[in-house]
């Protein structure tokens, strides 16, 4: 039985990952600060399900609290850490930049220090497709440089990757970064498009459709994300003997460090996504077409060849099934 720290355990991905790891017989310490970025009641409902399991323990703390993190690592011996705690949201980072520095930079450093000083065998951390920023070559590859972020959120996620590499190099701390692509599904985040669209359509309110609807996204169902995380967690990175300093590959290193995309590898037009949701809800959306928002990108698509080679997994849930499951959960949870 492994003892694993999952930060952001009350969040969307952290909740699903904790449930999966508990089902596989692991002991989980779940940490979350329960901040009010979105409805705390949803976070508490997720936690309520996790706390039914005897091998789950919840700690309310902020990863940016250095003393709290030092105490957490000193009191526990974690075999692995999955860091999913972060201030999320591209658009929110433009309005509230300090929240991203505190959580995504200071907090991540505290996690790295805890892992370094307390013998953690593998740190897996959430990055984001947002790091590709101004890159336009599709599909997005972990072998390409990502030096032109378009939002502070993206910049902090790129900084996480760089800082983790420094710790892998200096202290031989095995680190794996996962670039998630537009995750959706039951128990999802209320600030994400699917949740916002569903609520607005059911309440007969307009939905905001940015870039006049000319958007493509590599929507990735939550179960596929979790399968990828679990498989990667079991694959501790080793130094790449073929890595060359005169032709550096950003995805690997002479240190125990790797990066992977986890995406569906099948971009979907936003308008098609909305139409699938309309069919599942049995209602038409009132569409409010708007220009592109600052920090956003018109399209995403994940190259997942490295993920398939490393762990033998490829996300495959079609949006018709994923949206159907989300709508079923939403109607049950909100009794509508």
Cα(176)–Cα(229) distance, rounded to whole angstroms? 10
Tallying the residues shown for the chain, one arrives at 336
| 5 beta partners | 29, 81
* Residue among 159, 70, 158 at smallest CA distance from 116: 70
172, 253 Cβ separation under 8 angstroms: no
Helices (H), strands (E): how many in the chain?
A: 12, 13
Cα(221)–Cα(185) distance, rounded to whole angstroms? 6
Per the annotation, the verdict on 153 as an active-site residue is: yes
CA dihedral for 64, 66, 67, 71, sign (positive or negative): positive
DSSP H helical ranges for the chain: 12-23, 40-50, 66-75, 90-95, 97-100, 108-117, 152-171, 193-202, 222-233, 270-281, 305-311, 319-333
Tokens of 53: 């399991």
Cα(73)–Cα(62) distance, rounded to whole angstroms? 13
Q: Which of 37, 153, 257, 273 is catalytic?
A: 153
Distances (CA, A) of 188 to 111, 222, 224: 25, 9, 14
Residues that are catalytic: 153
């Amino acid at each position: 039985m492994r003892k694993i720290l999952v930060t952001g355990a009350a969040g969307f991905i952290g909740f699903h990952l904790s449930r999966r790891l508990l089902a596989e017989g692991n002991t989980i310490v779940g940490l979350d600060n329960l901040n009010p970025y979105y409805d705390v009641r949803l976070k508490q409902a997720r936690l309520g399900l996790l706390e039914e399991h005897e091998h789950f323990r919840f700690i309310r703390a902020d990863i940016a609290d250095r003393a709290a993190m030092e105490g957490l690592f000193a009191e526990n011996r974690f075999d692995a850490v999955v860091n999913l705690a972060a201030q999320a949201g591209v658009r929110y980072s433009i309005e509230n930049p300090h929240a991203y520095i505190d959580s995504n930079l200071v907090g991540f450093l505290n996690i790295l220090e805890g892992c370094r000083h307390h013998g953690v065998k593998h740190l897996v951390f959430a990055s984001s497709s947002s790091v590709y920023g101004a890159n336009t070559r599709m599909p997005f590859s972990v072998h390409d440089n990502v030096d032109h972020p378009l939002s502070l959120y993206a910049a902090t996620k790129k900084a996480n990757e760089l800082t983790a590499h420094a710790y892998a190099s200096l202290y031989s701390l095995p680190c794996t970064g996962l670039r998630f692509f537009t995750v959706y599904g039951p128990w999802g985040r209320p600030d994400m498009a699917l949740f916002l669209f569903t609520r607005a359509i059911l309440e007969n309110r307009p939905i905001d459709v940015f870039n006049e609807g000319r958007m493509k996204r590599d929507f990735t169902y939550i179960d596929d994300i979790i399968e990828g995380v679990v498989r990667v967690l079991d694959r501790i990175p080793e130094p790449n003997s073929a890595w060359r300093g005169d032709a550096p590959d950003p995805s690997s290193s002479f240190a125990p460090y790797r990066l992977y995309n986890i995406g569906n590898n099948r971009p979907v037009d936003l308008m098609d996504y909305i139409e699938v949701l309309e069919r599942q809800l049995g209602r038409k959306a009132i569409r409010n077409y708007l220009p592109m928002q600052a920090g956003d990108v018109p399209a995403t698509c994940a190259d997942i060849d490295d993920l398939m080679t490393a762990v033998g997994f490829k996300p495959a849930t079609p949006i018709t099934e994923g949206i159907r499951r989300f709508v079923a959960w939403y109607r049950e949870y909100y009794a509508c």
